[in-house]
Amino acid sequence: MSLIDISGNLLFVAFIAYLVATLLFGGSIKQSNATGKNTDKWGKLAIIVTIIGFLSQLGYFITRWIYTGHAPVSNMFEFTTAFGMFIVGAFILIYFIYRLTALGLIALPVALLIIAYAAMFPTEVSPLVPSLQSHWLTIHVITAALGQSILAISAVAGLIYLLKVVDLKKPSKQRFWLEAVMFFLVVVIGFVIATSIFSGMGYESNYTYVDKEGTERQITYNMPPLFGMNEYKAVEEHGMSPLVEMPALINAKKLTTVVWSLLVGSILYLLIRLITRRRISAMFQPFVQRVNLHLVDEIGYRSVLIGFPVFTLGALIFAMIWAQQAWSRFWGWDPKEVWALITWLFYAAFLHLRLSKGWEGEKSAWLALIGFGIILFNLIAVNLIIAGLHSYAAS
Amino acid sequence: MENIICACGHSNPYGTKLCEKCGRPLTEEGKETKVVDMRYDGMAIRSKTYNKTFIDKIWNFFSSVKVGITLIIITLVAASIGTILPQEMYVNAPEANKAEYYEKVYGWFGKFYNSLGLSDLYSTVWFQVLVGMLAISIIVASLDRGIPLHKSLKNQRVKRHESFMKRQRIIAEGQVQNPDATLDKVEQKMTQLKYKVRRDGSALLAERGRFARYGPYINHVGLIIFLAGVMLRLVPGFHVDETIWIREGETRAIPGMDGYFIKNNEFTLETHDNKPQGEQLAQGVNVMAKNYQTDVTLYKQPEGALPGDLDNLEKVKDYSIRVNHPLKENGFALYQMNYRLNELKQMNFNLVSKANEEEALGQIEIDLTNPKKEYDLGNGSSVEILVYTPDFSGFENGEPQTKTSIPNNPAFLFRMKTPETPKGEVSFVEIMKPPLEPLGENKYRMKFAGAETRDSSNFTIRKDSTVPILFVGGIIFMIGVVIGSYWNHRRLWLQVEPDGRVLMAAHVNKNMFSMKKDLDAVTSFAELPQYEDQLEKPEDAEKSEKRGIKKKEGDSTL
């Protein structure tokens, strides 16, 4: 077995471990509700399994690093996987400060979704273009991802807070948006399912199209084309033809992926609602009934306090040093840079609102969720939609 | 404005909320609340005290945290608008055609975006004014609050009035057996927990991590230094940004770097020999670059040399400029930015008779950047270049035209003289095309006999004297933000009366969780009465009150 296979297997082991640990965390809370005892036993087991998973994923990271010769954070799959790993790491850190089991019940599924999402991207090892061949790739990306992961824990705490305080019996804006967050998580599962099914079938259709600058190009769809590229012509088509042709500005292939994910996600969501006859928020609510709101609020705040300096260092300061070396200017208003700045400004506003306006508790929890939304936007949308220097594998 | 005389006799400046000496609340509001607002330790804040003159109003505007947060949010939203379409600097179109490009590629929205100036948003005056206002807000708000806070922390008294103690978030009240022993034990435990303990009669103040209160002010100083550095870049002389194209074998003066010359020895482009896959395949990138490298020699003119005197250059060093590895010299840095492969350097032609093309009368070698007027072949034959167009683009009024000065498509008008044709024959030669003979059919022709090519490299030359300032600003900011985030200011006040009545209060600017651990430790060690968190209500009470109560001000303090 070669090093890269070992690496892949370790990642798989980590994934399974996180899954098991999630169930154990759930069990630990259920147990404590029922009897008030055994919490320690289940909780301890859960955190041990989490740590095993984390070490296994660390093994994946290190073996892949040795195999490729550079830190495995250079493409969408590698970076997103590492982001998931750091979220688990940040969770373990915060867990040992506050010992709150409910945190694991949310943090681990979020990490699982992120890793599953990552696995939908090409996992092959690809070489580095000259601008990425720098130690700063390692330093900048790892520090930035670490900062983002710690900040993510504040969103986890925020979600727990909201699950407890939002009244799910009466219709309200809060109830709607909380369920919208849950729906978004289900759509991510929808993306994973749709991608896995079509790639399992080996689906492929080829088209030529004309891009926005008027050049003719080729494109391969890995999902049945719902939308066609600008002036598309089929080269080799399977199953179906595109239903609608899109203008050159819109990447119809990506739109197809988004719509398939939404479709599958919505069906899945409806099935869940039909079977359980409850909102997903309501399914989670019993697990967080016993948490101390003050403590959860403090965990959310503390994660921002711990994560903000790390994020500043990695995503802004190290980024500037590297940019100065690779591109001769420390700041170039590249979309990814701008969104890192936006993330930073947002959390700065978060801290000021909390300090002087007393935005604590529920308001703070919503802000933490929005902050995580910005981080995800920067990871997903800016990389895939707004192309720039950071969009991976550009020549 | 009159001073406020506290019941303890201390005279406080107008606007003070908590007496500087004993801590008694001085405002009506303060007297009514259960937990007093501990921000800035109740000192008089200029912006909250004066609002008469124009200057007061400006000061108050910028010192307001609400205004500061609003400015942050506006900047954030503005910055995000700039990422909707690519900014001008990333658009692949000549400077003059950018507006057209936006309309052509993005339609009406692109035109609209461009006409609003959003395609160059970050250089607009309004965006820079926004950042400037943010900077003013940071300065004013820091001075407004930082100075009073510093004074207050410096002049803390140990003994505080009961009304101050009882309005803290954490309070405890009760009886102890032995007052002196209790004070000693608390001192011992708190010292062990790394608190600084001061005693004044029956009162005790234990304090830890006071410097954490300065974190926000330190990081604001760092930010201001950073922003000042950025602004200095606009001053001429602080910032050099030039660009140069240089061909292999050439030596050229470096723009912006007086007295320095650079020679391009060789340019190398290496590619990965991988099979395209994944993203690379998806984006249609066939070959992936591995290395862009130019081997150069840097020269310097000796002191006092005439400008343009290339004969007495002193070699400074050899270096291989690569991406991520700029050449650094004397505060300047040269970056590998672009390249052109296989630019024509020299073309060779044989002068042949059309009757016998195998036997040449001689060969001429034309240096395309510096062609000679006439080439003498020795045997009575010669070739004259009448016209040379490096980048031939067609004829206009019978004259050959050139698009650029780069030899992409060289063309020549030759006059060939041989002993047989002493007056000379004229021929127009373009690569890969049969020669044109404008003055009638010739006996001789110029036969292409090979070419030499070379690569050309593009460097950016940068000098940024503001970088050290930015660096210092960045470091100070990081220090401040780390101090402010990873440490907290914890205080514990304790008063034990001779009759055994004990009163305790505690305050922490953030992270109450850790403070409570300390409190638990000292409570059990010194057998103090159990403390109460006045903000933490029993679960049931909280639920019923949740929607009703007015949101409290932040108990976290700057």
Chain A residues close to B511, C-beta within 8 Å: 298, 302, 305
Q: Higher pLDDT residue, B237 or A313? A: A313
ipTM score above 0.90: no
> CA dist B362 to B373, B379, B422, B432, B436, Å?
17, 8, 16, 21, 21
Q: What is the pLDDT of residue B466?
A: 87
CB contact under 8 A, A306 and B555: no
Give the nearest partner residue to A358 out of B107, B467, B553, using CB atoms: B553
- Count Cβ atoms below 10 Å from residue A239 Cβ, excluding itself: 11
Q: What is the pLDDT of residue A75?
A: 86
pLDDT in tens, B221-245: 999 999 999 888 878 778 888 889 8
In percent, how much of chain A has pLDDT > 90?
A: 54
CA–CA gap between residue A151 and residue B321 (Å, rounded):
39
How many residues are listed for chain B in this entry? 558
pLDDT at A81: 95
The pLDDT of residue A103 is 92
Q: Running DSSP on this structure, what letter comes out for residue B181?
A: H
What integer is the mean pLDDT of A279-302?
A: 89
Confidence tier at A393 by pLDDT (50, 70, 90):
very low
- Residue A28's pLDDT band (boundaries 50, 70, 90)? confident
Cα–Cα distance, A291 to A369 (Å, whole number): 19
From A97, A130, A388, residue closest to B289, measured CB to CB = A130
A33 pLDDT tier (thresholds 50, 70, 90): low
Query: What is the arithmetic mean of pLDDT over A44-49?
Result: 92
Contact indicator for B73, B56 with CB cutoff of 8 Å: no
Q: Are B301 and B261 in contact (CB under 8 A)?
A: yes
Determine the average pLDDT of the residues in A94-108.
91
Q: How far apart are CA B105 and CA A212, in angstroms?
A: 6
Residue A92 or residue A167, greater confidence: A92
- Which of A116-120, A281-285, B233-237 is least confident? B233-237
The tokens for B451 are 């070419």
Section A318-331 average pLDDT:
89
3-state secondary structure chain A: CCHHHHHHHHHHHHHHHHHHHHHHHHHHHHHHHHCCCCHHHHHHHHHHHHHHHHHHHHHHHHHHHHHHCCCCCCCHHHHHHHHHHHHHHHHHHHHHHHCCHHHHHHHHHHHHHHHHHHHCCCCCCCCCCHHHCCHHHHHHHHHHHHHHHHHHHHHHHHHHHHHHHCCCCCCCHHHHHHHHHHHHHHHHHHHHHHHHHHHHCCCCEEEEEECCCCCEEEEEECCCCCEECCCCEEEECCCCCCCEECCCCCCHHHHHHHHHHHHHHHHHHHHHHHHHCCCHHHHHHHHHCCCCHHHHHHHHHHHHHHHHHHHHHHHHHHHHHHHHHHHCCCCCCCHHHHHHHHHHHHHHHHHHHHHHCCCCCHHHHHHHHHHHHHHHHHHHHHHHCCCCCCCCCCC
Percent of chain A residues past pLDDT 70, beyond the cut: 95
Task: Name the residue of chain B whose CA is nearest to A222's CA.
Answer: B282
- Residues above pLDDT 90, as percent of chain B: 21
B467/A358 touch (CB, cutoff 8 Å), yes or no: no
Q: How many CB pairs under 8 A join A and B?
A: 179
User: Average pLDDT of chain A?
Assistant: 88
Over residues A14-23, the pLDDT tens digits come to: 999 999 999 9
Q: Residues of A with CB below 8 A from B107's CB? A: 249
Is residue A291 predicted with pLDDT exceeding 70? yes
Find how far residue A87's CA is from the centre of its chain: 9
Preferred mutation among A151, A220, A310, A345 to probe B, highest tally of B CBs within 10 A: A345
Burial tier of A188 (Cβ tally within 10 Å: 0-12, 13-18, 19+): buried
DSSP bridge partners of B451: B347
pLDDT of A388 > 50? The answer is no
The list of chain B residues with pLDDT below 70 reads 1, 274-286, 307-308, 537-558
Q: Tell me if chain A has a CB within 8 Å of the CB of B554.
A: yes
Tokens standing for residue B264: 């391009």
Interface of B with A in 407-436 (CB under 8 A): none
User: Residues A364-384: what's their mean pLDDT?
Assistant: 90
Overall average pLDDT of the A297-310 stretch = 94
Give the closest-approach CA distance of A118 to chain B in angstroms. 13
Q: Give the one of A130, A293, A339 whose C-beta lies nearest to B324's C-beta.
A: A130
Pick the residue of A336, A355, A363 with the most B CBs within 10 A to test the interface with B by mutation.
A355
How many angstroms separate the CA of residue B170 from the nearest CA in chain A?
14
Measured between CB atoms, which of A326, A356, A360 is closest to B65? A356
A positions 64-83 inside 8 Å of B (CB): 75-76
B-proximal residues of A, 273-302, CB under 8 Å: 293-295, 298, 301-302
User: What is the four-CA torsion angle of A103, A108, A111, A113, rounded to 10 degrees?
Assistant: -120
Looking at residue B51, its pLDDT comes to 77
Using an 8 Å Cβ cutoff, are B387 and B400 in contact?
yes
CA atoms within 13 A on the CB side of A112: 21
What is the structure's pLDDT at A32? 63
- Of the candidates B182, B208, B196, B161, the one whose C-alpha atom is nearest the C-alpha of residue B523 is B182
Chain centre to alpha carbon of residue A145: 11
pLDDT of residue B306: 72
Partner residue opposite A352 with nearest CB, options B69, B513, B553: B69
Chain A residues with CB under 8 Å of B558 CB are 355-356
Check CB contact of B553 with chain A, cutoff 8 Å.
yes
Give the range among A55-64, A99-108, A211-220, B514-523 with minimum mean pLDDT: A211-220
Q: Chain B closest CA to A50's CA: distance in Å? A: 25
